[in-house]
Amino acid sequence: MQTLREFTRKTKRGNILKIVREHYLRDDIGCGSELCRECFQNEVYQLTSQHANQSTLFKFPHYLVLDTNVVLDQIDVLEEDVLRNVVVLTTVLNEVKHRSSSIYKRFNEIVHDRTRNFYVFVNEHHKETYADREPDETANDRNDRAIRLATKWYDDHLQASQSSKEFERSGKAAMRVVLLTDDAANRAKAEAEGILVTTAAEYVKSLEDFPLLMDKLSHKTFDSEKNGLPQYPPHLSMKELLEGLRQNKILQGTFQASRENYLEGSVSVEKFEKGILIQGREALNRAVDGDLVAVELLPESEWSAPSEIVLEEKNVYADEVPSEERAKDENDMLKQVRAAASPAERTPTGRIVGIVRRKWRQYCGILQPSLIEDTNRHIFVPADRKIPRIRIETRQAAKLQNQRIIVTIDTWPRNSRYPHGHFVRSLGPLGDTATENEVILLEHDVPHCKFSDEVLSFLPKMPWTITDEDYSKRVDLRDLFICSVDPPGCTDIDDALHCRELPNGNLEVGVHIADVSHFIRPGNALDMEAAARGTTVYLVGKRIDMVPELLSSNLCSLVGGVERFAFSCVWEVDNEANVLSKRFHKSVIKSKRAMTYEEAQSIIDDATQQNEIAKSLRHLNRLAKILKKRRMDNGALVLASPEIRFQVDSETHEPLEVEVKQMRETNSMVEEFMLLANITVAEHIATEFSEASQVDIESGLELSHSLDKCVKADNPYFNTMIRILTTRCMMQAVYFISGSLQKEEFFHYGLAAPIYTHFTSPIRRYSDIMVHRLLAASIGADSTYAKLLDRKSNEELCHNLNYRHKMAQYAGRASVALNTHLFFRGKEEDEEGYVLFVRKNALQVLIPKYGLEGTLYLKTDKDGKDGQERVKSEIVFTFNEEDHTQRCGDVVFHSFDPVTVRLSLDSSNVQHEKLIFRLVKPYIKGFSVETASKGTEGQEVAAAPPSKKSKKDKKKK
């Protein structure tokens, strides 16, 4: 059966365009129920009479039909293996897909789980359930009507199927259909039409066998706050926002909350280089970090400056009413900050007037202990200091104490100090290594779930072998003395090298990179998953692969003694490392040996070894030194950042030892040839694909020479510290499409390279896979495809890769910090360090042995707990703003001065443990840590770091 769908559309020129679409309706679409004897079922029955939902509201067998808002708001409830026999209408699926791609993906996984008995009914193409849109009917009202129509048809259809005498004699209760909707209007209409209907919350509460499922219900409001007074200004409507943006009365940007001050944040706006400052609870107006917000600029007379104080919110309990005293304290603090700001320090300041798009996610943290027994209302404290506390209801608070849990935000009404959310799941005990690693991955948005069956289906079938056809299409390099050099324990070996003498006296150098693009074909599920992950993430003792392990540690890894596919970049060079020619080809290699950096260095240094591998390594090492000197002469920078490695217990996964990573000549050797390969490939593909190639961007000849001259005879670590500080001033290199920038902007500052890309690590970086595809297409080794050269899709890909790379770096640093804390738990160590820079109230100290950096606080004002009076030390430090020094008596601290500090772990804040730095040398009586022969335990405590929130708390007292 065919029907026509007509609608009109207004063109850009103002013309009215009538569009007619054919819509086919069928009468052979099955209902999917095993009870039905009328429908032709073309697949395994999805709806059964088993696994019935036991509800006190509907004390008879029933199937469920879900409204769109139930799927969007209650996805955490649906993911629990409780609700079975659910009819999923295509109307609902399409609405969910349109409104939230992330929830659609999660819901799709539930639907495809055969054990859950979710059946997709194609109601939009069934002649009995299709609802044509009526005149003056909104799309939302039409979809609601379609859902009710399908529910009514299902219920009538099943009752007709169960009306036989045979079924009546069985004595079974008839199966019915119940609609779950949280839309009050839709529910009223359903009741009027004789449909069994209830809300998701009412239905979940009726499941007596699963009382804890109520914790996962999404709450738009709590009963205790329904009549509360507004605490925030109202947000502008979307119509008002669009009009304000059009007239430039309001600006749009991403909100970034402050980690140090819960009453401060900023909005990144193109017109303002430093963004717009937001101060005060009302000005923040319920914005959460990452939200896209609309901001109104305040008059210049009301501009302020960012505060330098650290302000943490005092504990507020779930049953507390809004405090006028607290609000007054916050306003007083705001006035003081604005009054203290000098005209030169003032920056554009504004207030948030609306939310354009929320960027809420799931948050990790802990429950704040409640003062009231047997209460369901609790406050959740996120691990991320930039996220506000969240009000939730849970009936298992006692069980969740000292647990890391996940909570999501549902809404943030005007009359609530905090956003409302609901409990999702528990991660495990607080402080447990596995739990804390999971927190790191979740907080840094690292995809780490198992690869789906669909993704795994595109892997090669084992046992995998290289065929004669494969050999014929590739260059056979199996006889070359190729080897790999990597860190200890590396299993995902991306690259291998060779160097041999040519008859003409020149040298042939080859860089051979794992041919991952052979196994990951464009557009399939494996490719899309790798693109979404973007990069492999390395934590201490744990690796989250970008591609399944069969590829990363087996078929793609260039392990020794095994034939593998590679993409080779081969140069002919003279003995001065000048490139005379180059060629690219896909190859088959057989690495003669996989070595660590230490093993390779030992072979190079051992003059008795004269085999082909040793000769190759010595040639490579000599050429690498020439290449590096040439780069340095061109202005490349040798930067530094403290890197440490841990020895981890294989059973407990706790750190046993921590040390700074050692750099050998072989590290530099591999690095130089990877750089040469990346630059050579970048030059080639930028020439072949001037609009679509992926480039990595970031001359510093004078800076390079200046850094080389920064040496002190009495301080061997001085030059390293200078390079560490220089590194922090550098802009992060990012991926971009070559056609989006002028060639002059391609220059990579740090490498002093006119152009650069990533080619050498396709096992762990998706950018390298894309570069492999471009290179293969340019040399005719593989075919191109439309999306490979599509500018828009490549720009979106670059944006995701830059984001994933940044998050992977942050996650790695967080993992190092976690394991450092685990290592120092229960320990105290005195270590030599250097003052990296001097602050107004502290010294920033670097410990070379561990690569650690921390703050040694000089202010000894210290807040007491629970309202006790402050204790003030007689020790006074004077900060000199001109030469940035700190003086206490005869002791003066300059940047780069050597010091000895005592390291210990402060675990008073269970969620945010931190390393404490206390001064040992130079000795300052009453401040430095006393040795056992000098002082008492009380004197050691005197140097503990202070809390910076004393001004606020003093007012409250």
Chain-wide mean pLDDT for the chain? 81
pLDDT given at position 638: 57
Kindly state the average pLDDT of the residues 394-422.
90
Express as a percent the part of the chain with pLDDT over 90.
38
Kindly state the average pLDDT of the residues 895-923.
84
CB 378 within 8 A of CB 390: no
CB 372 within 8 A of CB 319: yes
Is the model more confident about 102 or about 145?
145
Q: Is the pLDDT of residue 192 over 90?
A: yes
DSSP string, 729-789: HSPPPEEEEGGGS-GGGG-BTTTTBSS----S-TTTBHHHHHHHHHHHHHHTSS---GGGG
pLDDT given at position 63: 92
Q: Is the pLDDT of residue 321 over 50?
A: no
Distance of CA 240 to the CA centre of its chain: 33
pLDDT given at position 226: 57
Kindly state the average pLDDT of the residues 23-50.
76
pLDDT given at position 956: 39
Lowest-confidence region among 177-181, 409-413, 655-659, 855-859: 655-659
Q: Is the pLDDT of residue 735 over 70?
A: no
Which numeric CATH code is attached to 238-310+343-444? 2.40.50.690
Residue 877: both structure tokens together: 């430090």
pLDDT given at position 369: 79
Q: Is the pLDDT of residue 867 over 50?
A: no
pLDDT given at position 625: 92
Q: Is the pLDDT of residue 419 over 60?
A: yes
Is the model more confident about 77 or about 848?
77
Q: Is the pLDDT of residue 217 over 50?
A: yes
Kindly state the average pLDDT of the residues 786-814.
86
Condensed to tens digits (0 to 9), the pLDDT of residues 492-545 reads 999 999 999 999 999 999 999 999 999 999 999 999 999 999 999 999 888 999
Condensed to tens digits (0 to 9), the pLDDT of residues 555-586 reads 999 999 999 999 999 999 999 989 999 999 99
Q: Is the dihedral of CA 751, 756, 762, 768 positive or negative?
A: positive
| Candidate ranges 37-51, 341-355, 746-760; pick with highest mean pLDDT | 341-355
Q: Is the pLDDT of residue 81 over 70?
A: yes
| Separation between Cα atoms, residue 717 and residue 672, nearest integer Å | 24
Ranges in the chain annotated CATH 3.40.50.1010: 26-208
pLDDT given at position 35: 79
Condensed to tens digits (0 to 9), the pLDDT of residues 438-463 reads 999 999 989 998 998 889 999 999 89
Ranges in the chain annotated CATH 2.40.50.140: 826-861+875-921
Condensed to tens digits (0 to 9), the pLDDT of residues 598-635 reads 999 999 999 888 899 999 999 999 999 998 888 777 76
Q: Is the pLDDT of residue 155 over 60?
A: yes
Q: Is the pLDDT of residue 677 over 60?
A: yes
- For the chain, helix, strand, coil in percent to 5 are 35, 25, 40
CB atoms within 10 A of CB 528: 14
pLDDT given at position 682: 85
Kindly state the average pLDDT of the residues 694-702.
47
Condensed to tens digits (0 to 9), the pLDDT of residues 103-151 reads 998 899 899 888 888 999 999 888 889 888 888 888 899 999 999 999 9
Kindly state the average pLDDT of the residues 280-287.
92
Torsion of CA 288, 291, 296, 297, to 10 degrees: 80
pLDDT given at position 380: 93
Maximum CA pair distance of the chain?
Answer: 104
Express as a percent the part of the chain with pLDDT over 70.
79
pLDDT given at position 929: 82
pLDDT given at position 780: 87
Indicate the pairing of strand 349-357 with strand 377-382: unpaired
Q: Is the pLDDT of residue 551 over 90?
A: yes
pLDDT given at position 570: 95
pLDDT given at position 860: 42
Kindly state the average pLDDT of the residues 357-379.
86
- Asked if residue 463 has a cis previous peptide bond (ω within 30° of 0), the answer is yes
Q: Is the pLDDT of residue 335 over 80?
A: no
| 112, β-bridge pairs | none
Confidence of residue 766 (pLDDT cuts 50, 70, 90): very high
Confidence of residue 831 (pLDDT cuts 50, 70, 90): confident
Q: Which architecture does CATH list for 826-861+875-921?
A: Beta Barrel (2.40)
CB 704 within 8 A of CB 637: yes
Lowest-confidence region among 138-152, 587-601, 917-931: 917-931
Which whole-number Å values give the CA distances from 521 to 398, 415, 444, 798, in the listed order? 50, 53, 28, 19
Confidence of residue 934 (pLDDT cuts 50, 70, 90): very low
Q: Is the pLDDT of residue 18 over 90?
A: no
Please tell me the number of Cα atoms within 13 Å of 599 on its side-chain side: 12
Distance of CA 205 to the CA centre of its chain: 35
pLDDT given at position 866: 35
| 644, β-bridge pairs | 660
Kindly state the average pLDDT of the residues 922-930.
82
DSSP string, 651-712: TT--EEEEEEPP--HHHHHHHHHHHHHHHHHHHHHHHH-TTT-EEEE---HHHHHHHHH--B
Which whole-number Å values give the CA distances from 734 to 278, 425, 800, 801, 804, in the listed order? 29, 36, 11, 9, 11
Q: Which architecture does CATH list for 26-208?
A: 3-Layer(aba) Sandwich (3.40)
Condensed to tens digits (0 to 9), the pLDDT of residues 650-671 reads 666 667 666 666 778 898 899 9
Torsion of CA 607, 612, 616, 618, to 10 degrees: 0
Residue 574: both structure tokens together: 């003279």
pLDDT given at position 938: 37
Kindly state the average pLDDT of the residues 637-649.
60
| Candidate ranges 36-40, 159-163, 800-804; pick with highest mean pLDDT | 800-804
- Give, as one character, the DSSP assignment of residue 17: E
pLDDT given at position 373: 73
Kindly state the average pLDDT of the residues 911-922.
84
pLDDT given at position 947: 40
Q: Is the pLDDT of residue 835 over 60?
A: yes
Residue 475: both structure tokens together: 């260059």
